[in-house]
């Protein structure tokens, strides 16, 4: 098995986003997960308009000016995927989404790996049954990742790999936030610049996530961005 094709997986959605009135319709994208998509910065402060769901909404509107788009946040701070899977039908699929983003990596690292994988697969399969596209997100960083003595960081790295494997097995999209953070830090960007809190990204960190997501939305050859 392999990841979904980056050029074609969301092609039908992109075609829909390019339609003009009266041939268009509302497109719903749901961001499901924990505190990061919920918009938590320096807890308990919630900075909705600098978090990646809102930034994604803005970028998509710049790219698809004729589209009617709802970006809906069903995320809950402190939640893990096992809890999130239990409310997936009620709180996510109820919106009849065209695309669901799932982001629980930060809070899953201390849980039983088998239970976590079952929760993620359950959500993916429920979405597939509704012909809904799915994008899995690896976790953004926290400061434990750069401390070789921190077991917490090793667990986060392991969780990122689990999510990559799940995306490949299920042939869905993957926004590899973890690798994007790793690339930024390796290029000389201070981790402090990407973080607003010990485990929550800053706006710059959220922008990195948005770039990863947007890579799955192919551009028209004639469109100017």
Radius of gyration of the chain (CA): 17
CA proximity to 97, closest of 16, 177, 23: 16
**CB neighbours of residue 221 within 10 Å:** 5
Q: Which pTM was predicted?
A: 0.96
Query: In this structure, what token pair is assigned to residue 211?
Result: 């770039």
In degrees, rounded to 5, the angle at the alpha carbon of residue 211 between the alpha carbons of residues 209 and 215 is 120
* 3-state percent breakdown (helix, strand, coil) of the chain, nearest 5: 50, 15, 35
Tell me how far apart the terminal alpha carbons of the chain are, to the nearest angstrom.
33
CA proximity to 51, closest of 71, 25, 26: 71
CATH class label, 11-214: alpha beta
Contact between residue 142 and residue 182 where contact means Cβ atoms under 8 Å apart: no
CA proximity to 173, closest of 163, 182, 181, 160: 163
pLDDT in tens, the chain (225 residues): 788 999 999 999 999 999 999 999 999 999 999 999 999 999 999 999 999 999 999 999 999 999 999 999 999 999 999 999 999 999 999 999 999 999 999 999 999 999 999 999 999 999 999 999 999 999 999 999 998 778 889 999 999 999 999 999 999 999 999 999 999 999 999 999 999 999 999 999 999 999 999 999 987 534 443
Residue with tokens 């803005």: 58
Domain ranges of the chain: 11-214
Contact between residue 19 and residue 105 where contact means Cβ atoms under 8 Å apart: no
Strand 26-33 and strand 173-175: pairing? unpaired
């Amino acid at each position: 098995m392999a990841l979904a094709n980056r050029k074609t997986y969301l092609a039908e959605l992109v075609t829909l986003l390019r339609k003009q009135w009266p041939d268009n319709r509302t497109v719903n994208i749901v961001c499901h997960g924990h505190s990061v998509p919920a918009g938590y910065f320096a807890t308990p402060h919630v900075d909705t308009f600098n978090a990646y769901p809102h930034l994604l909404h803005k970028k998509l509107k710049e790219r698809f000016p004729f589209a009617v788009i709802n970006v809906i946040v069903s995320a809950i701070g402190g939640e893990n995927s096992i809890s999130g899977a239990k409310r997936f039908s009620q709180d996510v699929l109820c919106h009849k989404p065209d695309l669901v983003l799932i982001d629980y990596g930060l809070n899953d690292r201390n849980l039983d790996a088998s239970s976590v994988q079952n929760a993620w697969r359950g959500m993916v399969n429920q979405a597939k049954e509704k012909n809904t596209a799915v994008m899995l997100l690896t976790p953004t960083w926290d400061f434990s990742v750069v401390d070789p003595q921190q077991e917490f960081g090793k667990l986060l790295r392991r969780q990122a790999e689990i999510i990559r494997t799940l995306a490949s097995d299920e042939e869905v999209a993957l926004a590899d936030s973890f690798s994007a953070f790793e690339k930024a830090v390796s290029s000389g960007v201070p981790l402090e610049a990407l973080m607003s809190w010990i485990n929550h990204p800053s706006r710059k960190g959220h922008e990195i996530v948005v770039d990863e997501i947007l890579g799955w939305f192919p551009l028209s050859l004639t469109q100017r961005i």
